[in-house]
Amino acid sequence: MTESRTESMPMDEGEVVKTNNQPTENRPFALKRWNALAVWAWDVDCDTCAICRVHLMEECLRCQSESSTECVVVWGDCNHSFHNCCMSQWIRQNNRCPLCQKNWVVQRIGK
Amino acid sequence: MVTPSTSNVRIASLTEVWEDLTDGLNTAYSRQPMSSQRYMGLYTSVYNYCTAITLSGNLSNRRPSTLSGLQNGSAMGVSSTQRIGRAPQGADFVGHEMYERLKAFVTAYVVDIQTKGIDLYGEALLDFYTKEWSNFRISSKVMDGIFAYLNRHWIRRELDEGRENIYMIYTLALMIWKDKLYAKMKERVTDAVLELIKRERMGDTINKGFISGVVECLVELGIDDQDTSSRSSPTAPPTTLSPGPAPAVPPTDKLKVYRENFELKFLRATKEFYAQESADFLGQGGSVEKRIDEELTRCQLYLNGHTMAILSSTCEEVLITAQLELFQNAFGGLLENSKDEDLSRMFKLCSRVSSGLDNLRAALEKHITKEGHMALDKVAKDAFNDARLYITTILDVHDRYSKLVGGSFSNDAGFIQSLDKASTNFINSNAVTTRSPSSQIGNKSAELLARYCDQLLRKSSKNTEESDLEGQLVRIMIVFKYIDDKDVFLKFYTKLFSKRLITEISASDDAETALITKLKNMCGYEYTTRLLKMVNDTQVSKDLCTDFKEKMTTDHKNALGMDFNILVLSSGSWPTFTPTSLHLPVKLSNCVENFTDFYHAKHNGRRLTWIYSQSRGEVVALCYSKKYVFTSTTAQMTTLLMYNDQDSFSFDSLMEATKMENKTANAVVISLIKNEILKSDKEPSNEELPADAVVSFNPSYSNKKVKVDLSKLAIRPDVQKETADVQKNVDEDRKGVIDATIVRIMKTRKRISHSQLMSEVIQQLSIRFKPKVEMIKRCIGFLIDKEYMARVDGQNDTYEYIA
Amino acid sequence: MAEDIPFLRIDNERELPRWLRWITEMDCLQCLGPRNSGRRPVTPVNVGLETYEFTSCDGQTIQFPEPIVDRITLLHRMREDMGNIAGVATIAAATGANMQFMIDYLMQHKDEPNIEASDMEARRARELKPEDWVLLDVSIAKLLEYMALANYFQCDFFLDCCAKMLAERLKDKSAMEIRQIFGLQNDLEDEEVREVRLKSDWCLRPTDHYDASA
């Protein structure tokens, strides 16, 4: 990366040159604005919820039909992930991870 | 105890009375003037005769068990009075005698007339018959009035007691007319009437009174059936009040004479007449409706109303059903020449007969299909790349026939169906769609419609005014309705919509929402879930930006040094973007780091992927004689910033420094060279620069505009590639959708037969696309392999769900 | 109908006094209630109404006003057939007074709905109005005259009212009494009595015995 020096430029767009406190003659180009684009996804190993077989980025089947609240993802200590609502239904019957059969301990819940 | 004796009542002898009565009857039947006094006198004579006889009979004769008549007729519900009433036999005898004498008198009169008319035919006969009938009718009414007391007294009782062949006086007269006169000349009369009608059909002017006179007579001659039927009912003895047709008699009974002697022959004659005439007649362009109207008017004017319906259907049978083929042949020509009025008339005509419209519907479908294909054939070459031309061509054809169906065909459901079928046909497969490569599963129409939507909804495009936009959207939906591959449309639409959202070039948020709502209304909530999520993402991103900027300010990290905005899209809802490798300048990576920290603090368990290819910005150039603002892609920005440190790089080293892939590097550098911001010592060949080409800064850049968009040249929209990309996954996606649908059905049904599963899948997917049976079968096999479901043991073609 | 009742035929002038004498001499008339000449219906002022002249048997000229013509079948038919209404009513019951009574009665009831002559159900169901009890509170003999008149003119409306009134008068009488009132002989044989009783059992009271010996 050859671009090493930093121009400190104000956020407001207009008076770029005047507020620049460094010499600019030998720096032909200055960044003015950046409209970035990023995509987010759940940080998971497997894209699909093993319980409802729906993609984790989509709402689980139950939430699809109710179209009410946000349908988030839950991770267990075993690092397997499922729809949170699917998992909470699941553990009423069986407190084990459906994939690895280890005891289910919630590691984190997505938001 | 005093007994009022009646024995000395003078019994008027019938011979005595009859002389005077005959005189009265002669006066009545010769239509000589009769005074009311005379009428009253005759009436009183009859009255006296009847009552006197009764009194004399009371003492001398009695007949056992005569209570029944009284109970029927006059009992007022008091037991004691019943006992009093009795019907003396004397009255029976003499009443009968008077009745017989009357009968003889009328018979003689009628026979005399019949003799006079024996040699008459045609109009002379009708003239004679109607005149005599009219006279006879009037005279008989007078007679009925004079003899009213006989009706009231003797005849009524005879009828109540169920005596056969006894009629009320007026009815008696009609019966005699029917038996002694009409029976002898009915063929002649009917023939004469039919001949007259035939002459009128041929255009002659005729004396309509003859026909109506005969018809009225025949209707009235049905009266005896009425009497027979009502005689059995003691609660409704015939009334003497009005000798006309009595109410509440089934018209079929009442009209028996009319139907048997006239209507049948009339309908036969009608059929024959038109069977001979209509072929020539239609050939000469005559109007069938006019004929039918004429017939119905004739019926209304001087036939019985009963004939109306059956005449109407007879005419329809001869004039329409028998000629349907002829009409159908003409129909095509009328369509061809846009004779909407004639089409409307033909529609009305053929709608009169059952299944008369079937072939017209089929012909219309064929015609619209043909017109649609012809219109698209003409523009095929241009329309392949011109969505607007394509869609407006389709809509022009549809509009034309939608108006025709709504106007000339009264929006008949069958014709709407023809329009729909034809539209589905030429919209989904036509000269334009067949130009696309056969590998593409989804049809071109879905794509072009989506592109047309994009044109309409874009800010920049030279669109019609906002006010018309809503109307345009409605028209889009007309075409959309017919598209088979709605899933392909959705793919293209999603792609183009995402572009509009990312680059913020939607003409109006309201219009975007309006169209999404329309799609939702037609295809259901699920169809637009993704689109709505996309809208939601852009809104959430706006809030994120605001929050992020606020945080930067409060943390005094004002050091981003530029205006930073971001869109965070949820993966899965948007088209897939492939991340490209790029070594960002520090200022940009600074943004990335700061925002990523901010985002992770706000959200848990999410992974952010930055898509530089879709990130754009502005670069200010301060090195020229005047200041320029370059709108550019992130890769262009990165490349430009390289020249802040030195004036020239070899292409190789540029690539090395920015970590751009060869293809991206070529596109970016060449775009900058074409814009004359950079220059190269070697010409690019085939859009590629040699690795050793020296690319250097061009200090003498100049442009009239201050704001220059460099990104346009860097990202050349490659429509063909885009199309291929979208098409590529259609098959795969459909498999997924079918899988999901099967699983959903199996989950609710648990156990289902193969054929039922197939039909449910096809039905559920019909709003998306038309799944091929082969594909569904493959999906079922796949799901069985994956143990989502299994064949039920011992039962062929039944599946069960495996939880 | 009323014409079936033989005693109604008092159309001979010579018979009438006999009827009247017989009725006035009858002891049992007390049980028919006080003799009353009846209240005359209010004679309407026929101003502006078209009327038709008729001569009664006692030589009076009687005016039939237009509104009641359709209630009197004879007149209705006469107008239909002759186009005019006129004549002499020659039967004994057609006295000027009786005819006027009928006319007045009909005028007073002219707004009642017309009942088809053939509609026996409706004719039976029609009940006497309170004013009818007053108007028709006349001697049985008078009632019989009115009925004869109504029968002659084929005026079922009036005839029904009179017949109903007569029935009311007779309804509490036993068969014996009725026979006494009208001076009838029991000409039924035992067999017939049984038959009648069998048929009419539903409406006979225990007191309604046919006494063959009477």
Nearest Cα of chain A lies from the Cα of B595 at a distance, in angstroms, of 10
CB of A69 within 8 Å of a chain B CB? The answer is: no
CATH number for position C40:
3.30.710.10
Mean pLDDT lowest among B103-112, B710-719, C120-129: B710-719
Cβ pair B672, B678 in contact under 8 A: yes
- The rounded percent of chain B whose pLDDT value lies above 90 is 20
- What's the rounded Cα separation, in Å, for the pair B331 and B329? 5
Under the banding of pLDDT at 50, 70 and 90, the label for residue B758 is: very high
Q: Which chain B residues have a beta carbon less than 8 Å from that of A8?
A: 559, 561
One domain for residues C162 and C181 = no
Sort strands B628-633 and B707-709 into parallel, antiparallel or unpaired.
parallel
What is the residue range of C14's domain?
A: 2-170
Same domain for C160 and C189, yes or no, is: no
C-alpha torsion sign, points B48, B50, B54, B57: positive
Of C4, C74, C182, the CB nearest to B43: C74
Cβ within 8 Å, pair B141-C182: no
Quick one: which of B539, B594, B548 has its CA closest to B570? B539
Asked whether the beta carbons of residue C118 and residue B43 sit closer than 8 angstroms, the reply is no
The CA distance from B84 to B65, in Å, is 12
Q: Read off the pLDDT band of B420 (50, 70, 90).
A: very high
**Domains contained in chain C, number:** 2
* Separation CA B331–CA B458 (nearest Å): 44
Cβ–Cβ under 8 Å, residues B237 and B218: no
Specify the pLDDT at position B517. 94
Q: Which amino acid appears at position B240 of this protein?
A: T
* CA-based nearest distance B114→chain C, Å: 25
Element containing residue B456 per DSSP (H, E): helix B444-457
Same domain flag for C122 and C85 = yes
Q: Is B330 helix (H, G, I), strand (E, B) or coil?
A: helix
Q: List the Cα angle B276/B281/B287 in 5-degree steps.
A: 130
Cα separation, B349 vs B332, in Å, equals 16
> Tell me: the pLDDT tens digits for B571-622?
888 888 888 889 998 889 989 999 999 999 988 888 899 999 889 899 998 8
CB spacing of A110 vs B603 below 8 angstroms: yes
pLDDT at B107 > cutoff 90 = yes
C71 with C19, same domain: the answer is yes
Mutate to test the interface with B, among C27, C62, C82, C85 (most CBs of B within 10 A): C82
Which of A4, A10, A110 has the CB atom closest to B604's CB atom?
A: A110
* Residue B467, pLDDT score: 58
Contact present, B669 and B689 (Cβ < 8 Å)? yes
- Structure confidence at residue C42 (pLDDT): 57
Q: Are residues C138 and C185 in the same domain?
A: no
Least confident of A39-48, B226-235, B526-535, C72-81: B226-235
**Chain B interface includes A102 (CB < 8 A):** no
CB B148 within 8 A of CB C73: yes
Q: What is the rounded CA–CA span in Å between residue B778 and residue C23? A: 112
Question: Which of B32-36, B316-320, B779-783, C19-23 is least confident?
Answer: C19-23
**A24 and B CB contact within 8 Å:** yes
Same domain, C151 and C179: no
Count of all residues that appear for chain B in the document: 803
For helices B486-502 and B730-749, what crossing angle results, to 10°? 110
Amino acid at C64: F
Is residue B75's pLDDT more than 50? no
Give pLDDT, residue B109.
93
- Token pair 């039939």: residue: C64
Single out the residue of B526, B447, B533 nearest to residue B764, CA to CA.
Answer: B526
Interface test mutation site (partner B, options A31, A60, A108, max chain B beta carbons within 10 A): A31
Domains parsed from chain B with CATH numbers: 14-254 (1.20.1310.10), 278-336 (no CATH), 361-523 (1.20.1310.10), 538-612 (4.10.1030.10), 615-721 (3.30.230.130), 729-801 (1.10.10.10)
- pLDDT of B512: 92
**Looking at the complex, does the CB of residue B616 fall below 8 Å from at least one CB of chain A?**
yes
Q: Is the pLDDT of residue C185 over 60?
A: yes
A38-56 residue pLDDT tens: 999 988 888 888 887 778 8
Q: Is the pLDDT of residue A79 over 50?
A: yes
- Burial degree of B355 (CB within 10 A; 0-12, 13-18, 19+): exposed
Q: Are residues C179 and C214 in the same domain?
A: yes
Residue whose structure tokens are 């490209």: B580
- Which of the four pLDDT bands, split at 50, 70 and 90, describes residue B559? low
- Mean pLDDT of all residues in B138-166: 86
Q: Which of B41-45, B341-345, C81-85, C176-180 has the highest mean pLDDT?
A: B41-45
pLDDT band at B103 (very low <50, low <70, confident <90, very high): very high
The nearest CA of chain A is from the CA of B596 a distance in Å of 10
Rounded distance, CA A67 to CA C63, Å?
91
Residue B677 reports pLDDT greater than 50:
yes
pLDDT greater than 90 at residue B493? yes
Average pLDDT estimate for B770-781: 89
B231's tokens: 């005689």
Q: What is the C-alpha to C-alpha distance for residues B216 and B198, in angstroms, rounded to an integer?
A: 19
Instruction: Please give the Cα distance from A49 to A43 (Å, whole number).
Output: 13
Rounded to the nearest angstrom, the minimum Cα separation between C97 and chain B is 19
Contact: C185, B152; criterion CB under 8 Å: no
Q: Of B713, B678, B706, whose CA–CA distance to B620 is shortest?
A: B706
| Residue C69, min C-alpha distance to chain B (Å) | 12
- Can you list the alpha helix ranges (DSSP code H) found in chain A? 16-19, 61-66, 84-90
Q: Which of A9, A17, A64 sits opposite B562 (nearest CB)?
A: A9
d(CA B358, CA C100): 75
Tally A–B CB contacts below 8 A: 193
Contact at CB, B599 and A42, closer than 8 angstroms: no
pLDDT of residue C27: 33
Contacting B residues, span 514-573, partner chain A, CB-CB under 8 Å = 525-526, 529, 558-573
> For B524-548, what is the mean pLDDT?
90
| Per-residue model confidence (pLDDT) at position B314 | 81
Task: Decide if pLDDT at C14 tops 70.
Answer: no
- Helix-strand-coil split of chain A, %, nearest 5: 15, 25, 60
C155 and C51 fall within a common domain = yes
Sign of the C-alpha dihedral, residues B227, B231, B232, B236? positive
Give me B751's structure tokens: 């156990």
Distance of CA B375 to the CA centre of its chain: 27
Residue B180 has pLDDT above 80, yes or no: yes
Name the neighbours of A, counting chains with at least 3 Cβ pairs within 8 A: B
State mean pLDDT over B87-113: 79
* pLDDT score of B569: 92
Interface B-C, measured as beta-carbon pairs within 8 A, has a size of 171
Using one digit for the tens of pLDDT, what is the confidence trace for C148-172?
898 889 888 888 888 888 888 777 7
What integer best gives the mean pLDDT of chain B? 81
Touching chains, B (3+ CB pairs < 8 A): A, C
Asked if the C-beta of A36 comes within 8 angstroms of chain B's C-beta atoms, the answer is yes
Segment B115-135, tens digit of pLDDT: 988 888 888 898 999 999 999
User: Contact, A80 vs A100, CB < 8 A?
Assistant: yes
Res. A72 pLDDT band, cuts 50 70 90: confident
Nearest CA distance, C142 vs chain B (angstrom): 16
pLDDT at C45: 56
Both C147 and C45 in a single domain? yes
Weakest-pLDDT range from B80-89, B586-595, B714-723: B80-89
What is the torsion angle, in degrees rounded to the nearest 10, for the CA atoms of residue B441, residue B443, residue B444 and residue B447? -90
Cβ atoms of residues C29 and C110 within 8 Å: no
Residue at token pair 């995402």: B498
The pLDDT value recorded for residue C161 is: 85
Do C127 and C213 lie in one domain? The reply is: no
A29-42/B707-709 β-pairing? unpaired
Q: For residue C214, what pLDDT is reported? A: 38
Which is nearest to B42 in space by CA: B57, B26, B54, B56? B26
The DSSP annotation for B386-453 comes to -HHHHHHHHHHHHHHHHHHHHHTTTT-HHHHHHHHHHHHHHHHSSTTGGGS-TT--S-HHHHHHHHHH
Task: Give the lowest-confidence range in B59-68, B99-108, B150-159.
Answer: B59-68
Over residues B326-342, the mean pLDDT reads 79
Q: Do A41 and B618 touch (CB under 8 A)?
A: no
- φ/ψ region of B111 (left if φ > 0, alpha if ψ in -120 to 50, else beta) reads alpha
pLDDT bracket for residue B61 (50, 70, 90): very low
Helical (H) or strand (E) element with A42? strand A29-42
**Choice between B262 and A61, residue whose per-residue pLDDT is larger:** B262
Greatest mean pLDDT among B720-729, B730-739, B749-758:
B749-758
Nearest-CA distance B157 → chain C (Å): 9
SS3 call for A88? helix
DSSP string over B144-210: HHHTHHHIIIIIHHHHHTT-TT---HHHHHHHHIIIIIIHHHHHHHHHHHHHHHHHHHTT----HHH
The full DSSP string for B38-65 is HHHHHHHHHHHHHHHHHHHHHHH---S-
Residue contact B571–A39, C-beta within 8 A: yes
**Residues C123, C197: one domain?**
no
In this predicted structure, the answer to whether residue B675 has a pLDDT above a threshold of 70 is yes
* Chains C and A lie in contact, requiring 3 or more CB pairs less than 8 Å apart: no
Does the CB of B743 have a partner CB in chain A at under 8 Å?
yes
pLDDT average, residue stretch C59-80: 88
**Are C87 and B36 within 8 A, CB to CB?**
yes
Find the helix or strand (DSSP H, E) in which B552 lies.
helix B525-554
- Position C210 confidence tier, pLDDT thresholds 50, 70, 90: very low
Question: Average pLDDT in the C41-57 region?
Answer: 73
CA-to-CA separations, B468 to B391, B417, B460, B474, B772, in angstroms, rounded: 16, 28, 16, 10, 39
The neighbouring-strand residues paired with B517 are: none
State the sign of the Cα–Cα–Cα–Cα dihedral B587, B591, B594, B597: negative
- So what's the pLDDT on residue B516? 94
What's the confidence (pLDDT) of residue B371? 92
Residues B68-87 have a mean pLDDT of 34
Q: Are strands C51-55 and C61-65 parallel, antiparallel or unpaired?
A: antiparallel
Task: Check residue B464 and give its pLDDT.
Answer: 55
**Cα gap B170→B145, rounded to integer Å:** 9
Q: Residue B434: what pLDDT?
A: 84
> Does C147 lie in the same domain as C127?
yes
Chain B residues closer than 8 Å to C80 by CB? 141, 145
Dihedral pair phi/psi, residue B153, rounded to 5°: -100, -70
% of chain C with per-residue pLDDT over 70? 62
How many CA atoms lie less than 13 Å away from B742 in the CB half-sphere? 31
Name the pTM for this structure. Answer: 0.61
